[in-house]
């Protein structure tokens, strides 16, 4: 990618048009593979910039020098992919219109909702959603204008919790503590990430859960917590409580899928889009993948890899495969090396991309 060379060669145009909703990891991976096969792809992205969580959801200290934007540019250089930013499904565009204007639709809009703490006063000033804060941080031109607490508490045990905790320390917070309801081994954040946080001065307190946000004059000033323990395989509070001082509390306890944009037209499974083995939804011309699909990655930072994301998602409209060339070597028709931009996102635990057979036969539409 840094060399500026494009190792992929697009197949002859098929005349087929595919709409992809979401310019995040799943949407970009799908669009690139479809373009490789000769289809024309339009990506509709709700935000002003493309890249999804790579652009908005990873702490700034991990993706420097415009890395996310450079990845998007690399993907687009194959040709046949157009991105329309500021086009949110359910607002600027509708699923029904996309189906009428395209041969197929792929939904990869990720998770837009945030899990609630279900504690008293969690809507108080000073209680922030970690993902939203990181997004604001990533787009900020002047970090000095960002609100930073002196005493910061982070609730959660995944990669987002680590990101916001370390980032808070780097921005000048005096004291940062991560609160997790279970032990270190149960944390979704990798051992490397946990160690990284602690070397940056972040404290991690295990076996605790929030009970109530403490407030004064309408602002958060602390958090009442309860110790937890596993009893007969189930997590429960012990009844013993304590209080921690805080002027900023971050929620990093996961995200949820918001089904409203799909207009109740597509079946759900466990709160996400129901798909079959080929990633097809309950609508015959609509597919889905990534976090918004049932069975997708729960942790938003474990990006979809092409090893588990079958590019034959659109087998019903794909012609013979595109070809990949290497400088000084003949074309390879049977194998295509998967794109590796996610694996280079400098994160421990990110799913690496592998190799998949690239030849596929289809039935005409």
Rounded to whole angstroms, the Cα distance separating 75 from 38 reads 14
The pLDDT value given to residue 231: 86
How many Cβ atoms sit within 10 Å of the Cβ of residue 234?
7
pTM of the predicted model as reported, rounded to 2 decimal places: 0.76
**Whole-number pLDDT of residue 295:** 63
The answer to whether domain 8-112+257-357 and domain 115-251 are alike in fold is: yes
Going from N- to C-terminal start, the domains of the chain cover 8-112+257-357, 115-251
pLDDT on residue 316: 53
Provide CATH code, domain 115-251.
3.50.50.60
How are the residues of the chain apportioned to helix, strand and coil, as percentages rounded to the nearest 5? 25, 30, 45
**What's the pLDDT score for residue 365?**
31
Quick one: tokens of 172? 């000048």
Tokens 């990181």, residue located: 134
- Output DSSP code: residue 185: G
DSSP result, 102-165 = SSEEEE-----EE-----BTTTSBTEEEHHHHHHHHHH-S-GGGS---SEEEEE--SHHHHHHH
Q: For the CA atoms of the chain, what is the radius of gyration?
A: 22
Which residues contact residue 108 at a Cβ distance below 8 angstroms, ignoring those fewer than 6 apart? Answer: 20, 21, 22, 24, 25, 26, 27, 30, 288, 289, 290, 292
- The answer to whether 22 touches 109, Cβ cutoff 8 Å, is yes
Tokens representing 91? 């607002």
Measured CA to CA, the distance from residue 154 to residue 188 in angstroms comes to 14
pLDDT for the residue 100? 95
Residue 153 confidence (pLDDT): 97
Predicted local distance difference test score (pLDDT) of residue 172: 92
Low-confidence residues of the chain, pLDDT below 50?
A: 298-313, 319-365
The CATH number fitting domain 8-112+257-357, selected from 3.50.50.60, 2.60.40.1260, 3.30.70.3270, 2.60.40.1180: 3.50.50.60
d(CA 294, CA 358): 25
- Whole-number pLDDT of residue 2: 64
pLDDT of residue 105: 94
């Amino acid at each position: 990618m840094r060399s500026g060379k494009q190792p992929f060669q697009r197949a002859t145009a098929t005349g087929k048009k595919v709409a992809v909703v979401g310019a995040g990891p799943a949407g970009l991976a799908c669009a690139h593979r479809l373009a490789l096969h000769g289809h024309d792809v339009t990506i509709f992205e709700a935000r002003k910039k493309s890249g999804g969580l790579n652009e908005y959801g990873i702490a700034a200290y991990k993706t420097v020098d415009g890395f996310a934007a450079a990845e998007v540019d690399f993907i687009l250089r194959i040709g046949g992919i157009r991105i329309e930013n500021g086009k949110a499904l359910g607002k600027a565009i509708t699923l029904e219109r996309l189906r009428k204007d395209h041969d197929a639709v792929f939904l990869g809009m990720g998770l837009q909702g945030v899990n609630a703490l279900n504690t008293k006063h969690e809507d108080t000033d000073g209680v922030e959603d970690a993902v939203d804060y990181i997004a604001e941080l990533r787009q900020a031109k002047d970090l000095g204008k960002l609100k930073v607490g002196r005493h910061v508490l982070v609730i959660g045990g995944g990669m987002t919790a680590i990101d916001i905790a370390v980032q808070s320390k780097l921005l000048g917070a005096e004291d940062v503590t991560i609160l997790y309801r279970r032990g270190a081994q149960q944390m979704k954040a990798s051992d490397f990430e946990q160690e990284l946080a602690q070397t940056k001065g972040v404290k991690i307190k295990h076996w605790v859960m929030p009970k109530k946000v403490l407030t004064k004059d309408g602002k958060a000033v602390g958090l009442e917590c309860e110790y937890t323990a596993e009893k007969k395989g189930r997590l429960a509070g012990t009844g013993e409580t304590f209080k921690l001082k805080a002027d900023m509390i971050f929620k990093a306890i996961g995200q949820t899928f918001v089904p409203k944009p799909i207009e109740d037209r597509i079946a759900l499974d466990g709160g996400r889009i129901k798909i079959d083995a080929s990633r097809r939804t309950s609508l015959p011309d609509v597919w889905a993948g990534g976090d918004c699909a049932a069975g997708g990655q729960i942790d938003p930072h474990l990006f979809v890899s092409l090893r588990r994301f079958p590019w034959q998602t659109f087998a019903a409209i794909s012609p013979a495969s595109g070809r990949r060339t290497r400088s000084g070597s003949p074309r390879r028709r049977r194998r295509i090396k998967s794109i590796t931009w996610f694996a280079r996102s400098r994160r421990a635990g990110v799913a690496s991309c592998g190799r998949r057979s690239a030849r596929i036969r289809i039935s005409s539409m």
